[in-house]
Structure 1
Amino acid sequence: MAISLDKLVGFHHKALTIRTERMEVIAGNLANANTPGYKAKDIDFQKAMASARTEQSQSLSRTHEKHFAGRTQPGFEADYRVPDQPDTGDGNTVDAQTERNAFLDNGMRYQAGLQFLNGKIKGMKKALSGGQGQ
């Protein structure tokens, strides 16, 4: 029986990829907190995961039997965040406290995902080695 790593860790890999992209977007917001006219962005994790699941089920068509089967790569769209506070006059919609909280929350979820993925890989290694030496 073949072992499918994609079935074992595919979901968690996609989740970590989305969390990484979201960290970059939030860091960009924090870096531009004092830039006049900058509009805060964010990635909706639930929507991105749904998109990744949908795109995972769609495979690319092969034009020749010797071609490798391919898959589409999910794209994560960053949408503008709706500001919680009224405009400060310079057109910047970044709320530093909201961004810090989102960054910390996303970071903790990223770490939890890494720990879960690490546990799955350790379990697979243990199963492959027959439970010896670990």
Structure 2
Amino acid sequence: MSINFKNALGLHPDALNVRSKRSEILANNLANSDTPGYKARDLDFKGILKGEYENRQRMELNRTSQRHIPAAAIVMDQSLKFRMPHQPSIDGNTVETNIEQAEFAKNAMDFQSSFTFLNSKFSGLMKAMKNQG
């Protein structure tokens, strides 16, 4: 009996990819906190996961040729949003360092939680494979 890793791991590998991309965006915001006119951006994580969940409910498209482009992909650019500042700055920069640092720390904890859960899934799969042999 073969193991389908996509079903066994769920969407945790995708969640790690999104959280990794989000940490890059938040780090970029922090790096540009003194750049005049810079607009802080962030990913809509819930929107991405909701879109992925809705995509799983749709009928898959069949490709009649290997040269056809597959229809499934996470599009990060559409989920990249500008952050609305609580206190806009005079120079047009919308980065609020305290908020960006808090979001970065929260994202790091969420990444670690997803990673820990994924690690436990792999440990369970390893135990199952050892017990079958």
The equivalent of 2:3 in structure 1 is 3
Q: What is the percentage of aligned positions where both structures have the same residue? A: 36
What RMSD, in angstroms, separates the aligned Cα atoms of the two structures? Answer: 2.3
Change (3 A) 1:15 1:30: same
Whether the 8 Å contact between 1:55 and 1:73 is mirrored in structure 2 is no
1:82 is paired with a residue of what secondary structure? coil
The equivalent of 1:39 in structure 2 is 39
Whether the 8 Å contact between 1:40 and 1:93 is mirrored in structure 2 is yes
Normalised by the length of structure 2, the TM-score is: 0.87
Q: Which runs of 5+ in 2 are unaligned?
A: none
Task: Give 1:95-134 correspondences, 5 Å limit.
Answer: 95-130=96-131
Change (3 A) 1:93 1:12: same
Whether the 8 Å contact between 1:60 and 1:72 is mirrored in structure 2 is no
Cα separation, 1, equivalents of 2:33 and 2:64: 49
How many residue pairs get aligned? The number is 130
Q: Which deviates more from structure 2 when the two are superposed, residues 98-107 or residues 53-62? A: 53-62
Q: Which runs of 5+ in 1 are unaligned?
A: none
Cα separation, 1, equivalents of 2:51 and 2:71: 13
Cα separation, 2, equivalents of 1:97 and 1:119: 33
Is the counterpart of residue 78 in structure 1 residue 80 in structure 2?
A: yes
Cα separation, 2, equivalents of 1:124 and 1:71: 30
Change (3 A) 1:36 1:4: same
Higher relative contact order (CA 8 A, sep 6+): 2
Describe the superposition over 1:65-123 as per-residue Cα deviations: whole angstroms up to 9, x where unpaired. Answer: x889x5511112210011111x2210000000100000000001101110100000010
1:79 is paired with a residue of what secondary structure? strand
Aligned residue type for 1:120: K
The equivalent of 1:16 in structure 2 is 16
Deviation at 1:60?
Answer: 3.7
Is the counterpart of residue 61 in structure 1 residue 62 in structure 2?
A: yes
Normalised by the length of structure 1, the TM-score is: 0.86
Aligned residue type for 1:127: A
Deviation at 1:53?
Answer: 2.1
Cα separation, 1, equivalents of 2:26 and 2:131: 43
Cα separation, 2, equivalents of 1:41 and 1:78: 7
